[in-house]
Amino acid sequence: MGVPRGAYVTEVLLDSPAMIGGLQSGDIIVRIGEADITTYVGLVNTLFDYKPEQSIKLTVERQGVDDYYQFDVEIIAGVLE
């Protein structure tokens, strides 16, 4: 169906590390660092490898006019409250 395999971003909270890093609703996270992400569970498990305040490189697919395009963003791991 042409949709990249990864973790689909359904919502980005205002002023969250994801929003500050440039993620948007509808993005698909396909890689974190060197780890390929194919499911939500894979996303969560990989994020647990990072400590708060650590920089995380995400590779993201975003839908464009004709197709998806890929780009990298850097986010800073936050603290769950």
| The pLDDT of residue 18 | 82
Q: Return the pLDDT at 80.
A: 54
pLDDT (tens digit per residue) in 6-44: 999 999 999 887 888 889 999 999 999 999 999 999 999
7, 46 Cβ separation under 8 angstroms: no
Closest by alpha carbon to 28, among 11, 7, 10, 42?
A: 7
Q: Which residues contact 69 (CB under 8 A, 6 or more apart)?
A: 61, 62
Q: Which spans in 1-81 are helix H?
A: 17-21, 40-47
pLDDT at residue number 21? 82
Query: Which amino acid makes up residue 72?
Result: D
All domains in the chain, ordered by first residue? 7-76 (2.30.42.10)
N- to C-terminal Cα separation, the chain: 38
At residue 16, the pLDDT reads 81
**pTM across the whole model:** 0.85
